[in-house]
Amino acid sequence: MIEISSLSKHYGRHKAVDQISFEVARGEIVGFLGPNGAGKTTTLRMLTGFLPPSSGAARIAGKDIFRESLEVRKRIGYMPENVPLYTEMRVKEYLRFRGALRGLSGRRLRTRMGEVLETCGLTDVRRKMIKTLSKGYRQRVGLADALIHEPDLLILDEPTNGLDPNQIRAIRRLIQNLGQKHTILLSTHILSEVEMTCNKVVIIDGGKVKAADTPANLVNSMRRAGRVTVEMQAPIPDAEAAMTTFEEVTKVTSEALQDGWNRFTVFVAPHTDTRAKLGNLATQKNWPLRTLSRRVGTLEEVFVELTRKD
């Protein structure tokens, strides 16, 4: 659906986007991540035809974004971070107006209005003035606008910006449902949402692509060491000495708790799991054990590891 090859955008000597390349397959929901100033919005604006690239190439649904810009725009639904709505219009009026701009008319326009009102949960507020709607409902109106012409690709720039936790969950479910019919490129800073919603992640920093893979693969490829937490009734010196004999263990720290219980944090080499050995050790030594858990890496840690400046 999206093919980007050595795409760049320069402002004088500043390289906002520097020869990035990645692909998005049809039907994927892809998280497009990066710190502020990384080049995300510039990339999205090039893909949607708002900005011409300085060099490189990109194709959407087989169409060149520069030479076939109008054809590309027909296949894209774009929801910017700050949705520019006409707040003095009613929801139905606005969608009718936007649909007409997209070339829809007559029965086809009425049908699509009904479909997007239902899909985006706007049926009950269709006759309300947009200025009276909450932030969450305004985001839904912006999403309905992006969907009105049945685009192949949805590009969503911070769709949950400014929403409360309940509204974020509602938008997340909506995006997941839309992913059954549309390819989605999602730019957001909420990494937990990406882990729950996206089946692929592209991380950009300094105008360059730092990683492009599934969230699970990115977490598994982290250089950061693993960590296991153990809580048991065991003498701290004896337990630490026994744990450090395991080949994969790099360090053990301890903390005294109440009633004779102690917490041990066992640092292990990447891609290893020493829980079975620790459980056997407690059994052999007859040390009561109540907690044995492995810390699971997160996409947030991957993001920080790839984009931190230190």
For 280-307, what is each residue's pLDDT tens digit? Answer: 999 999 999 999 998 777 788 788 878 8
pLDDT of 308 > 80? The answer is no
pLDDT at 137 over 60: yes
Q: Contact at 8 Å (CB) between 253 and 264?
A: yes
CATH fold, domain 226-297, is: Alpha-Beta Plaits (3.30.70)
- Identify the CATH assignment for 2-220 out of 3.40.50.300, 3.40.50.10810, 3.40.50.720, 3.40.50.800: 3.40.50.300
What pLDDT score does 158 carry? 86
Average pLDDT of every residue of the chain: 89
pLDDT of residue 168: 83
Q: Determine the pLDDT at residue 80.
A: 87
- Give 154-178 pLDDT, tens digit per residue: 999 888 877 888 888 888 888 888 8
Q: Which residue has better confidence, 264 or 194?
A: 264
Fold match, 2-220 / 226-297: no
**How many angstroms separate the first and last alpha carbons of the chain?**
36
pLDDT at 222 (0 to 100): 66
d(C-alpha 285, C-alpha 294), whole Å: 21
More confident residue, 271 or 268: 268
- Residue, of 304 and 94, whose pLDDT is higher: 94
Model pTM above 0.95: no
pLDDT of residue 242: 94
Predicted confidence (pLDDT) at residue 130 exceeds the cutoff of 90? yes
| Residue 163 φ then ψ, to 5° | -95, 155
Sheet-wide strand order for 289-294: 249-256, 262-268, 226-232, 289-294
Domain extents in the chain: 2-220, 226-297
